[in-house]
Chain A
Amino acid sequence: MAKATTGIKASDIKFDRYRFDVVVIGAGGAGLRAAVEARQAGLRVAIICKSLFGKAHTVMAEGGAAAAMGNVNENDGWKVHFRDTMRGGKFLNNWRMAELHAKESPDRIWELETWGALFDRTKDGRISQRNFGGHEYPRLAHVGDRTGLELIRTMQQRIVAMQQKDKKEFGDAEKYIKVFAELTITSILKDGDKVSGCYGYWRESGDEVLFESPAVVLATGGIGKSFKITSNSWEGTGDGHALALKAGSALVDMEFVQFHPTGMVWPPSVRGILVTESVRGDGGVLTNNKGERFMFNYIPEVFKDKYADNEAEADRWYKDQNNNRRPPELLPRDEVARAINAEVKAGRGSEHSGVYLDVSKRLPADEIKRRLPSMWHQFKELADVDITEQPMEVGPTCHYVMGGVKVDPDTAAAYGVPGLFAAGEVAGGMHGSNRLGGNSLSDLLVFGRRAGAGAAEYVKGLKGKSPEVSDKEIEKAHDHINDPFDRDGNENPYALQQELQNITQDLVGIIRTESELKESLEKIESIRERSKKVRVEGGKLFNPGFHLAIDLENMLLVSESIARSALEREESRGGHTRDDYPKMDPEWRQYNHLTTWSGKKVEIEAEKAKMLPEELLSLFEMDELKKYFTEKELAKGGK
């Protein structure tokens, strides 16, 4: 085979060429919702899936989508949802995003029904809503414990419906929307400071593809695969985070990583697979190896008035929510994950270093199977555990990154790069330092739609004067893809990925310290050096070793961003816990961390967070605000 495919002229490079108005990278909830919106605005849209169409990670969301429809408790409304979201994020959230999210979620859920979604129902025939951690009222629209599947399938079928209509009208199903399955985007292309398109390769053939497009929406999801124990699939390699950094945009608050408190811990091969929070929402309790319901010992000061401090009251809450405080099992995820971590460290863990989660004593077997069918199935088939009779063994698993691309809340436009947009997990700000369960699926819908609309408006504003793709950009993107075939060296991409996962897990995990974070940065740097010696075996035809070699670079960038941001933030808040700075500090609440990439180095800059406006600040009691804000800030009022 001929060597040295890199360093050749654009005219000698073989690639497929497409032209679209908008390219959406990612086909999970946010990407598909963005595509629907852009198509409805009359634009031609490409949807890029890294996997097959309909397999994106959204499919794994279990519990539900939070939306204050008030179907189960009529006291619910957007203001209550907004308050819960801000509390969950410890007030570091971009308040405008939290506001838009709380206001628009119900419409986004109802819209899904008109596209064929079938949520579980209340007795009077409306969409049922379930309890979840951090949500004051039952708020999560759900379908058993497979809500993500319903969401993605509904939108997948919505795309198909639009294509069917286009076929009828124009004789071509793909005239306006074309789905590109199993394609990886490796570069965002620019003309000056503006997006001119993107470049990548078909996973199946390895053939290269150029998309000329004035707008690109990043909807690539999360970063979990940078950690050893994770609920994320292979796709969660932080592609969009890395693409945005390399395109000159910025990430915000990357130190905040959510460890979901309940992942499977046994057997080893399933370690990390998610156990839905619905188990606790539906009455599951957490106990240690002494049989103690330990969560009562971990209610933090800021939540003391909202959570029951004794079993009797906690149990009564399931029947009467208006006169009792919530069980502490339903504290926000960061609190529960830290508590489990502490119990295990203190020697009170289960046989396989987790804790016990038991729903069998609360609900009859049939009811468990009806409400939690996938959980029943998952434990039965993978762990030989019957959850209608036995407790589950669970422990924290890397689940979600709150940090992400800095965006304009209203249009989802990415910071600093005209034509680049981001929505869903890849975007940052909405969830502050910790995301509430159920707020992700609604986030995808609300901001997916806004990104589609934002991109459409931007493209229309160009009035046909699209930025152009230069030969130089194509050559650079081509070299990037082909480099792993031309290198000298014998590093194995799988081995490097494993080493990186161990480093982040051990040194940048749930509990962090300065010395370990510094150590992690040195180690990440050494992996980066070695990654330049990864040589790919075999050809380009569906070659996972090649795919991983490309993804590895993204994982390295993301891991470094998290570690550097974490090192800078000298406090503990939400998904960032520093053993050497265990307290939450109102001074730190005033700052977000911006991550940028100079081409050689990840750089972190502290940026002043915007204060809530008076009308949102006034939704909270002063006593509560004092826990989060400095006296000086509160004296000035909302500005």
Chain B
Amino acid sequence: MARKVKMRIWRGDSKNGDFKDVTVEANEGEVVLDVIHRVQATQMSDLAVRWNCKAGKCGSCSMEINGKPRLACMTRMNMYGEDENITVTPLRAFPVIKDLVTDVSFNYKKAMEVPAFEGPEDLKPGEYRMQQVDVERSQEFRKCIECFLCQDTCHVIRDHEENKKSFAGPRFFIRIAELDMHPLDRLRNRKKKAQEEHGLGMCNITKCCTEVCPEHIKITDNAIIPMKERVVDVKYDPVRWLGSKIRKREGIE
């Protein structure tokens, strides 16, 4: 049951670019990435697009479809009307390399700024004991497939290049939250540092990131808001402050 669909594809590089209109076949059950691949195989052999797993697990085919940040492999064609013109563009928050491919190195730089997991020194491999209920909070954030759609949609950086320097973005707030909530992580003050060094305070919880997350991670409710609240809590609660002092230590030697 093939039908013809109209697509507007942004084509260009870091300097110039324009929309190209194509008419292409779409079959039952197909996703936007299938149709882009058909365009590539039959009409534009050098059309640049990133993809890997085609099953929503690797987070490579992030792009904007009719202006919304989405994974092209998980966006069904039947979401759009028969005569609708489907517009595909590269992620807006990152510099274009070519066509639908952007330079996402910003995210890898930010990853480098989050201190790694620091496990207990007195436990050998195989001696870790944790309860399922205690690891589940961090496990939610470890579902992240690093598609960077949350980074792309976040208005703090989407149209404000100048904020990128001091703002790590939602993906790295959940990374910090994940480590902070890890039952055996020893590093202290992750929340405080999120606020002071990674720009947590710049987030004003509009939940755009949660809306676009293909893994349905509750970024704002489960990571950002609890961290914001606890930054305040810890400052004013002497018992919790002392507790955190005993269990955790500051910085890595």
A interface residues (Cβ-Cβ under 8 A, vs B)? 51-55, 57, 59-60, 69, 106-107, 110-111, 113-116, 118, 120-121, 124-126, 128, 143-144, 146, 149-150, 153, 157-158, 160-161, 163-165, 167-168, 173, 181, 204, 233-235, 266-270, 273-274, 374, 377-378, 381-383, 492-495, 498, 536-539, 541-546
Contact = CB atoms under 8 A, between A and B. Distances in A.
B131 A542 contact: no
A537 B46 contact: yes
A105 to B, nearest CB: 12
A128 B74 CA distance: 30
Nearest to B30: A269
A115 B128 CA distance: 12
6 contacts: A125-B130, A160-B111, A378-B55, A383-B29, A536-B45, A542-B98
Contacts of A113: 119, 125, 128
A39 to B, nearest CB: 14
A53 to B, nearest CB: 7
A109 B27 CA distance: 43
Interface stretch (B135-143, B155-163, B237-245): B135-143
B157 to A, nearest CB: 19
B246 interface: no
Contact of B182 (A111, A118, A167, A543): A118
Given A125-B130, A149-B145, A381 B76 contact: yes
B232 interface: no
Given A52-B60, A52-B104, A157-B116, A542 B27 contact: no
Contacts of B50: 51-52
A173 B109 CA distance: 11
B13 interface: yes
Contacts of B144: 153
Contact of A114 (B58, B76, B119, B138): B119
B60 A51 contact: yes
A367 B97 CA distance: 44
Interface string B110-137: 0110011101000001101111100100
The range of chain B's interface size is 35 or more
Contact of A374 (B41, B48, B57, B128): B57
B53 A233 contact: yes
A121 B97 contact: no
A363 to B, nearest CB: 17
B53 A60 contact: yes
A442 B248 CA distance: 32
A541 B57 contact: no
A69 B128 CA distance: 13
Contact of B56 (A377, A383, A546): A377
B57 A160 contact: no
Contacts of A111: 125
A167 B52 CA distance: 31
A235 B138 CA distance: 30
Contacts of B179: 116
Contacts of A378: 55-56
B55 A542 contact: no
B24 to A, nearest CB: 14
A51 B117 contact: no
Nearest to A162: B116
Interface string B93-107: 000011101001000
Given A118-B142, A374-B57, A538 B45 contact: yes
A404 to B, nearest CB: 21
Nearest to B111: A160
B92 interface: no
Given A149-B145, A539-B46, A543-B46, A268 B27 contact: yes
Contacts of A120: 132, 135, 139
Contacts of A107: 125-126
Contacts of A273: 54-55
A115 B120 CA distance: 11
Contact of A118 (B41, B55, B108, B139): B139
A58 to B, nearest CB: 10
Contacts of B54: 233, 270, 273
Contacts of B59: 55
Interface in B31-60: 31, 34, 40-42, 45-60
Interface of B: 13, 27-31, 34, 40-42, 45-60, 74, 76, 97-99, 101, 104, 108, 111-112, 115-117, 119, 125-126, 128-132, 135, 138-139, 142-146, 179, 182, 185, 252
A538 B46 contact: yes
B47 A267 contact: no
Given A121-B130, A545-B45, 17 more contacts: A55-B58, A55-B60, A116-B117, A116-B179, A128-B132, A146-B57, A164-B112, A181-B108, A234-B52, A266-B29, A273-B54, A274-B55, A382-B31, A492-B41, A537-B45, A541-B13, A545-B46
A234 B45 contact: no
A203 B29 CA distance: 31
A544 B41 CA distance: 10
B126 A106 contact: yes
B142 A143 contact: yes
Contacts of B41: 492, 494-495, 498
A173 B108 CA distance: 13
B146 A54 contact: yes
Nearest to A156: B111
B55 A116 contact: no
A280 to B, nearest CB: 19
A537 B42 CA distance: 12
Nearest to A108: B125
A494 to B, nearest CB: 4
Contacts of A537: 45-46
Contacts of A204: 97-98, 101
Contact of A268 (B29, B74, B99): B29
Contacts of B46: 536-539, 543-546
Contacts of B139: 118, 120, 143-144
Nearest to A150: B142
Contacts of B132: 120-121, 128
A509 B154 CA distance: 47
A543 B48 contact: yes
Contact of A270 (B49, B55, B108, B117): B55
A383 B55 CA distance: 12
B56 A114 contact: no
Nearest to A548: B45
Nearest to B71: A381
A118 B130 CA distance: 9
Most chain B beta carbons < 10 A, residue from A53, A144, A168, A546: A53
Contacts of B142: 118, 143, 149-150, 153
Contact of A544 (B27, B45, B145): B45
B160 to A, nearest CB: 24
B101 A233 contact: no
Contact of A60 (B58, B97, B108, B252): B58
A60 B57 contact: yes
A316 B129 CA distance: 31
Contacts of A498: 41
Given A54-B146, A110-B125, A269-B27, A493 B45 contact: yes
A254 to B, nearest CB: 24
B95 to A, nearest CB: 12
Nearest to B126: A110
B112 A55 contact: no
B116 A164 contact: yes
Contacts of A150: 142
A149 B143 contact: yes
B178 to A, nearest CB: 8
A492 B46 CA distance: 11
A544 B46 CA distance: 6
B101 to A, nearest CB: 5
Given A60-B53, A267-B29, A118 B112 contact: no
Nearest to B42: A494
A116 B116 contact: yes
A171 to B, nearest CB: 14
Nearest to A127: B128
